């Protein structure tokens, strides 16, 4: 009776019995794997993969081309129907067709949005695979998503700035542990276009008003 109770208590406390498994925790504790943490700016890489990759752009262009015939048709129908009187029999006759075409276009637009969402998911998987390759080569055990602390804040409002601040997941880290550019090269992504701001043209100096004759 007591031996059965002792066995139940042992199992309840997680006793694994003799053998290699009994020493598993001790092995992990005495021989921990070195932890080296790197970071990548996933948002930046996903946007660049989505907008700069020719494969991604051509895929979206093919899907977007399916929308144009219907968009052009609806534009012509809308222009013609707007010129008809409200009580016109022609307007009343064509309006259901126009509304059906609008609904059809909305369906195609939803399909295009779903296709684009799948591209974002695919880009994320490809970036994760590239990050693993780069991390393994550099001896990193973990890659955390974080924007560089000194990256430019782009949104000029408090809520937007706070959202950007929260993207800085890692505030303190070792130099050389941001793998964003290395992952970009692994993916063979082109460099993003740099937009040089054009300084505003100064307003012309108004001509002096001539003095009134005395």
Pick from 181, 197, 124: nearest CA to 148: 181
Mean pLDDT on 197-209: 53
Structure tokens at 175: 């130099």
Mean pLDDT on 61-78: 94
Q: How far apart are CA 202 and CA 214, in angstroms?
A: 35
Q: How far apart are CA 105 and CA 108, in angstroms?
A: 5
Pick from 160, 154, 118: nearest CA to 44: 154
Per-residue pLDDT, 5: 43
What percent of the chain stands above pLDDT 90? 52
For residues 150 and 42, the model is more confident at 42
Q: Could you read off the pLDDT of 82-136 as tens digits, one per residue?
A: 888 988 888 889 999 999 999 999 999 999 999 999 999 999 999 999 999 999 9
Per-residue pLDDT, 77: 92
- Greatest pairwise CA separation for the chain in angstroms: 127
115-123 contact pairs (CB < 8 A, 24+): 115/59, 115/60, 115/63, 116/50, 116/60, 119/50, 119/56, 119/59, 119/60, 120/46, 120/50, 123/45, 123/46, 123/49, 123/50, 123/53, 123/56
For residues 203 and 160, the model is more confident at 160
Mean pLDDT on 11-39: 61
Which of 11-15, 43-47, 84-88 is predicted least confidently? Answer: 11-15
The pLDDT confidence band at residue 10, using thresholds 50, 70 and 90, is very low
CATH of 32-187, one of 3.30.910.20, 3.40.50.1360, 3.30.70.580, 3.40.50.2300: 3.30.910.20
């Amino acid at each position: 009776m007591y031996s059965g109770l002792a066995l139940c208590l042992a199992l309840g406390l997680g006793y694994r019995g003799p053998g290699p498994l009994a020493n598993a925790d001790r092995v992990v504790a005495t021989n921990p794997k070195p932890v080296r943490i790197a970071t990548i700016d996933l948002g930046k890489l996903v946007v660049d993969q989505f907008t700069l990759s020719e494969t991604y752009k051509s895929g979206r262009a093919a899907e977007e081309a399916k929308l144009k015939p219907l968009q052009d048709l609806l534009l012509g129908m809308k222009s013609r129907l707007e010129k008809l009187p409200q009580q016109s029999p022609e307007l009343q006759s064509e309006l259901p067709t126009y509304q059906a075409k609008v609904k059809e276009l909305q369906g195609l637009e939803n399909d295009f949005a779903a296709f684009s969402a799948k591209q974002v998911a695919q880009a994320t998987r490809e970036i994760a695979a590239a990050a693993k390759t780069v991390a393994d080569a550099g001896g990193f055990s973990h890659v955390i998503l974080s924007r560089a602390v000194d990256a430019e804040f782009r949104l000029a409002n408090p809520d937007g700035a706070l959202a950007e601040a929260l993207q800085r997941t890692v505030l303190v880290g070792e130099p050389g542990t941001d793998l964003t550019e290395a992952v970009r090269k692994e993916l063979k992504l082109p460099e993003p276009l740099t937009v040089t701001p054009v300084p505003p043209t100064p307003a012309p100096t108004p001509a002096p008003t001539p003095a009134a004759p005395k």
